[in-house]
Structure 1
Amino acid sequence: MANLPEQKSSRARRLTAALAALSSVSALSLAALVAEPVAMHTTTGTGSTVRAATNAVQPPSAAEPGDFADIVARVKPAVISVRVELDGAQQQASSDEDDGTPDPDAGQGVMMGEGSGFFISADGYAVTNNHVVDHAKTLEVMTSDGRSYDATVVGTDPKTDLALIKVDGRDLPHVRFADRRPRVGNWVIAIGNPYGLGGTVTAGIVSAEGRDIGAGPYDDFIQIDAPINRGNSGGPAFDVNGDVIGVNTAIFSPSGGSVGIGFDIPADTAKAVIAELKDKGHVTRGWLGIKEQQVTADIAEGLGLKEAKGALVDEADPAGPAGRAGIRSGDLIIALDGATINDPRELAQRVGAMAPGTSVTVSILRNGAPKDLSFSLATMPEESPAPVETASDASAAPTSEQGFGLLLAPATKVAGSGGKGMVVVAINPKGAAAQHGLEAGDVILDVGGKAVSSARDFRRDLASLRKEGRAAALLRIQSGDTTRFVALPLGHA
């Protein structure tokens, strides 16, 4: 093969340089080209009644994708580019946490961001991501034929990273959400505004479903391999019928560009959220009033369980519905309304999908005994950060628990610890406790369900668990303003 000339045209050099600058983002990237922290995000959706822009075409055969041109020609007019001017607070955050590259068309000192979206009604309602419009000072959308509209935010849902925006318009082309989730292996077409290149079309397949990317309690992403990049956030992913199967939201990338791992908010989630945003401007969710954690194999061993399933209650707000009904720390939630709960994410999704005031029956295991509790869900409160207290150095000689690699002191002897439990004042980084997530400053509140306030209590409870034949000790730990459970293998002590 002949070698290409070493000298490039000036236009090619400019394009190469521009794309290289744009591709400098972190390994876990939002698909939006916005001046904000780069991270994974999540969302849920709407129930608005929408119609396809034109009659559906017959899908290609499953074995042969054929030509996507007819589908693209039909749905592309409904896809929009979303352009925002960020307010001062977000500009500062962007300059601190992102590459801070201003839009070349923007005035000096003005930070712009770009994303994607799509119309779902003829009168101008459109879907995008919350992270695209968050902290927007002004909002403008552009259609594929070059028309520009000023837009307003109708409502946002940060927990699912969805937003509903509105322009003044009539007879606008629009698309509808699919009625069912796609299957792994189905064809998918993504259209959006990557790197400001509006109207970009890519295609691939559904790679996986039910993905949890750590963005929040409602993670349930569709994974696709149709290339999406920064600027695609909020745009649609279509099936071969031209229906929206998901909202492009996040990518995984070690380079900043697409490596074929993108994540979409499912259409059914988006429909439910968008319907509520259109109706009320915000989303209300059912609330149990508990904090829970995953049951690991070690924790299951500590609880005497055969399977690592369920949601282990770390804390129950005494003023919350679950706490008032009698649920308490250490209870294991195994079912909701008779349906098995496999993990905390499943519990959060099912409760979050219920309206406040809904009556539920929660099945728990307490000290190995089953129990059913019935009560009504409350409304999830607005999140507000709680003050964090951390333990300081001990004012009395601590006790060494060498088998676990711990140095403990009674909380009553440690300033700022709240006076309950045993404070970890030092830890061996190679010891069993450190390997299982304990850190200096953590407070051990109880061992095997029994409160501890001295080294004698700690050792007594461990001995009792060994006598019962337990392979692990379940410790309830306070770290700052949160609590969690940690299972330490008793063979190490």
Structure 2
Amino acid sequence: MPLRTWQTTLCSFVIAGALVGAAGSATVTPALAQGPSAPADFTAIARERMPAVIAITARQRVRERETAPALPEDLPFREFFRRYFEERMDPREALGAGFVISPGGHVVTNDHVMGNAEEVQVVFGTSTRGPVRLVGRDPATDLAVLKVDPPPRMMVTAWGDSDAAEPGSWAIAIGSPFGLGGTVRVGVISAQSRDIRSGPYDDYLQTDALINRGNSGGPLFNARGEVIGVDTAIFSPIGGNVGIGFAVPSRVTRSVTDQLIRTGWVERGHIGVSLQELTPANAQALGRPNEMGVLVAAVEPGGPAARAGLRVGDIVTAFSGNPVESGRHLSRAVAAAKPGTEARITVFGDGRTKELA
């Protein structure tokens, strides 16, 4: 059968995104990489980074209701017992960790550690510090920033490149599992870009460095002692750690915490579409020669995408010159873009490819 020909047309629109140039490609000859030798142990990293890691205790009182047992009508103090079982405030305590990212005392932790805490206590080593102020939180990425009064000669962590943390590279977790402050666990990066269905922007590092209750919010270091992630969650079919832990990568953490410190909230890009993964059947029905891209299921009236002419049934194949692999991939790319700037989206619709900007 004859080859199909796809036209390329250009039009423009402004979305909440930033332009990213597409990188060129070249053919190279494979060679053995001469990487740095593995450290004999991790005592230096533990000794140097431990002072920058804190233990966090967040307390709140939770309103709970209990069902009262059947009580005889003539029971003395019947009304007292009825009120006791009807409603009471139970104390709850969340344990977590955090790490210092600025000389001014800014601390990164997990949003779920904070919850609706009425009282927060942080401990540097054996010294309790206070007061503690919540600077901002971002439930979408489970990150929060606190502000503490910095102790003298406070250690500050350094950011590493989470994108360079390849599977098999070292991962060192420091935290306070079960309240045991200053606990060091060593493992490796097991995988990158994991989606654990916890939110719209899931992009976790997976590690087998053991993470338990009290590690949440603590740093994950590389072999150079740089923070490459924030320990956040574990997967466990038995309730205990089975060596499958997840950390928010430093690439995401830096962007979010910078905004929280600067404004107290996180602003994300938005183009106004609902997405659906492209199936082989959908691709064939729409005349798409392959399954690369994501299907537009709905368009927000009056939104940036609608104003540009994006329609239901279009297939988004690239954003800012980078191929779109899935709906999750596109959502993260759009969210990371700076609101108010122009970006280019390549779409396939009506049998041809269009580039919208």
TM-score after normalising by structure 2: 0.79
Q: Which residue identity lines up with residue 178 of structure 1 in the other structure?
A: G
- Identify which of 335, 352, 357 aligns with 2:335: 352
Q: Which amino acid aligns with 1:78?
A: A
Q: Deviations over 1:383-422 (max 9, x none)?
A: xxxxxxxxxxxxxxxxxxxxxxxxxxxxxxxxxxxxxxxx
What is the DSSP-based 3-state SS (H/G/I as helix, E as strand, rest coil) of the residue aligned with 1:73?
helix
- CA deviation vs aligned residue, 1:399-447 (integer Å, no higher than 9, x gap): xxxxxxxxxxxxxxxxxxxxxxxxxxxxxxxxxxxxxxxxxxxxxxxxx
Contact 2:175 2:182 in 1 (8 A): yes
**Would the aligned equivalents of 2:176 and 2:215 in 1 still touch at CA under 8 Å?**
yes
| Residue in structure 2 matching 1:140, options 101, 121, 135 | 121
Per the alignment, residue 178 of structure 1 pairs with 160
What SS does structure 2 have at the residue aligned with 1:147? Answer: strand
- Give the deviation of 1:277 after TM superposition: 0.5
- How far, CA to CA, are the matches of 1:342 and 1:183 in structure 2? 20
Within the alignment, does 1:154 sit opposite 2:135 as a pair?
Answer: yes
Contact 2:121 2:128 in 1 (8 A): no
2:251 is aligned with 1:268: yes
Change (3 A) 1:354 1:64: closer
Q: Which residue of 2 aligns with 1:72?
A: 46
Give matches, 1:28-427, under 5 Å. 64-88=38-62, 92=64, 109-170=90-151, 171-179=153-161, 181-374=164-357
**Larger RCO of the pair (alpha carbons < 8 Å, separation 6+):** 2
Cα deviation, residue 158, structure 1? 1.1
Q: Name the SS for the 1:136 alignment partner.
A: coil
> What secondary structure is seen at the aligned counterpart in 2 of 1:85?
strand
For the structure 1 residues 241 and 337, does the alpha-carbon distance in structure 2 shift closer, same or farther, using more than 3 Å as the test? Answer: closer
CA contact (8 A) 1:77 1:145 kept: no
Structure 2: gaps of 5 or more residues: 1-34, 67-88
Q: How many residues align?
A: 300
Cα deviations by residue, 1:219-245 (Å, 9 ceiling, x for unpaired): 111111111112211000111211111
SS across alignment from 2:130: strand
Distance between the aligned counterparts of 2:199 and 2:228, measured in 1?
21
> What is the CA distance between 1:146 and its match in structure 2?
3.3
Do the aligned partners of residues 153 and 92 (structure 1) sit closer, same or farther apart at CA in structure 2, a change above 3 Å counting? farther
What letter corresponds to residue 70 of structure 1 in structure 2?
A
> Does structure 1 retain, via aligned residues, the 8 Å contact 2:230–2:250?
yes
Q: What is the Cα deviation at residue 65 of structure 1?
A: 4.0
Give the C-alpha shift of residue 194 in structure 1: 1.3
On the 8 A contact 2:129/2:148 being kept in 1, the answer is no
Residues 228, 251 of structure 1: 8 Å contact kept: yes
| Preserved CA contact (<8 Å) 1:123 1:172 | no
Please state how far the C-alpha of 1:142 moved relative to its aligned partner: 1.0
Contact 2:235 2:242 in 1 (8 A): yes
8 Å CA contact retained: 2:129, 2:149? no
CA spacing shift, 1:360–1:153, aligned 2, 3 Å:
same
- 8 Å contact kept, 1:233–1:249: yes
Query: Structure 2 counterpart of 1:206, which letter?
Result: I
Q: CA deviation at 1:70?
A: 1.7
Greater C-alpha Rg:
1
Do the aligned residues in 2 keep the contact of 1:189 with 1:239 (CA within 8 Å)?
yes
Output the CA distance in 1 between the equivalents of 2:344 and 2:36.
43
- State how far apart, in whole Å, the 2-side matches of 1:136 and 1:63 are: 44
Q: State the alpha-carbon separation in 2 of the partners of residues 92 and 305 from structure 1.
A: 55
Q: Deviations over 1:55-101 (max 9, x none)?
A: xxxxxx8665412112101111111111111254xx659x9xxxxxx
Residue deviations 1:185-205, cap 9 Å, x none?
111110111122222111011
Q: Following the alignment from structure 2 to structure 1, what is the Cα–Cα distance between the partners of residues 181 and 64? A: 27
TM-score (norm 1): 0.58
